Amino acid sequence: MPKNSSLIDAPATRTAPPRSFWLLGPALVAGVAYLDPGNVASNMTAGAQYGYLLVWVVVAGNVMAWLIQYLSAKLGVVTGQSLPEVLGSRLRNRWARRSYWLQAELVAMATDLAEIIGGAVALNLLFNVPLLLGGFITGAVSMILLTVQNRRGARPFEFVIIALMAIITIGFVAGVFVAPPDPAGVVGGLVPRFEGAGSVLLAASILGATIMPHAIYAHSALSRDRFGANPRLAPADAATEAARTEPSRIRRLLTATRWDVTIAMIIAGSVNLGILLLAAANLAGVPGTDSLEGAHAALAAGLGPVVATFFAVGLLASGLASTSVGAYAGAEIMHGLLHVRIPLLARRLITLIPALVILGLNVDPTLALVLSQVVLSFGIPFALIPLVALTAQKRTLGVWANRAWTTVAGVVASVLLIALNAALLWLVLTGA
């Protein structure tokens, strides 16, 4: 029987990277959720208003995100099911299951709202496209990306999203090399501290935009699609389950998953940190940087049109990639909890409507982004608590269940994230 032997449940006999490069990918796709327009707005505002003060929040959030995404992926690998599927089978009461689905669905739609708006704003900045038309274009392109996933499977979809992630990285980090941050300021920002309620609000916003419920749901499903079953065997065949749960195979996949999550979080964390440092070094005290349009204008004025264009291109890629992954997560939530599967493209059309309505009503895009983060805050406990509880259960994962220290780390991360998201809700709703 295999035994866990470390905080992250790695086998003592396997420490080198997996030989099969093709095993990497699901975490890179899920990691796009950490680079969506909400992250850009939060990190840019934090750097412009507080300089290097909240560097430690980005770093701490990335560390917690690593653990959470690994647990989500492990659930999909070991069980062959996504988190919504496992919960759908455990929630026997029909109304409890429907209530859970409703909050998860609202969270996914709020996420999608932010991503469509981000894409629309980017098209407006680049080509002066009206926001409503930009929302249509962003939604249409995301439908094309989802068609790739529908017709070609998980791997081609991963390649497309990873390519967009590369564009996002270049777009958002280019300015840091043009105007580097102060090393002493960066080091000083690693010391945990706040300066008033405003910095607490932004810290909670950064974490709320970093660790999002739909990324947890999506990662378990992405890992299931790639690794949770052997497609060459008939699903009803008893040999299928034996092949899927063979210990050496699971061990190899979990090793690959740890590398996959590590690479994805290094990229996502570096980009988020780069956005904050870019603003801290070049936009400190500049008015109007609390909006995407204002940040773009400030970059153009301070660093030139080339850096500003890179930023807008990165924002566009961010909106396109993250809204595609968000639609995938939403479809999985419906399938897993309601046992209803509707075509992914049809669901894309349905979830596109709220964003287009808001754009059509000329609602301030920045306000819409802030409100979407508030909705996300409500959904954090409903994703984190079941994830940590299920991965700690031998009933669910057998010998692959978390070690005690892994569970403790998951509980601590969950408590901190839930507390900060509660603070975000309080500060936003009370206007503090």
Q: Kindly give the confidence (pLDDT) of every residue in the chain, 432 residues in length, as a single tens digit, with 9 standing for 90 and above.
A: 444 434 455 443 344 444 556 677 899 899 998 888 888 888 999 999 999 999 999 999 999 999 999 999 999 999 999 999 999 999 989 999 999 999 998 888 888 888 899 999 999 999 999 999 999 999 999 888 888 887 877 788 888 999 999 999 999 999 999 999 999 999 999 999 999 888 888 888 788 777 889 899 999 999 998 886 443 334 445 455 555 568 888 999 999 999 999 999 999 999 999 999 999 999 988 888 888 899 999 999 999 999 999 999 999 999 999 988 888 898 899 999 998 877 777 777 877 888 889 888 988 887 787 777 777 778 889 999 999 999 999 999 999 999 999 999 999 999 988 887 777 778 777 765
Q: How many domains does the chain have?
A: 1
Burial (CB count within 10 angstroms: exposed 0-12, middle 13-18, buried 19+), residue 212: buried
In a domain, residue 146? The reply is yes
In a domain, residue 278? The reply is yes
pLDDT of residue 63: 94
For 372, other C-beta atoms within 10 Å of its C-beta total 26
In a domain, residue 140? The reply is yes
Name the amino acid, one letter, at 219.
H
In a domain, residue 17? The reply is no
Residue with tokens 């590369």: 166
Contact in structure between 307 and 178 (CB atoms under 8 Å): yes
Can you give the C-alpha Rg of the chain in angstroms? 21
The residue range of the domain holding 305 is 24-430
Residue 10: φ, ψ to 5°:
-85, 140
In a domain, residue 8? The reply is no
pLDDT of residue 10: 44
In a domain, residue 16? The reply is no
In a domain, residue 245? The reply is yes
Look at residues 114, 208, 253 and name the one whose alpha carbon lies nearest to residue 425.
208
Cα–Cα dist 289/277, whole Å:
14
CATH number for the domain including 115? 1.20.1740.10
Contact in structure between 358 and 113 (CB atoms under 8 Å): yes
What is the DSSP code (8-state) at residue 31? G
Cα–Cα dist 113/44, whole Å:
19
Cα–Cα dist 76/225, whole Å:
8
pLDDT of residue 20: 54
pLDDT of residue 75: 96
Residue with tokens 């708006």: 117
Contact in structure between 377 and 208 (CB atoms under 8 Å): yes
In a domain, residue 18? The reply is no
Q: Which residues are CB-neighbours of 129 under 8 A, at least 6 positions away?
A: 120, 123, 137
pTM of the predicted structure, to 2 decimals? 0.88
Look at residues 170, 431, 117 and name the one whose alpha carbon lies nearest to residue 306.
170
Cα–Cα dist 391/400, whole Å:
8
Look at residues 388, 357, 351, 355 and name the one whose alpha carbon lies nearest to residue 369.
355
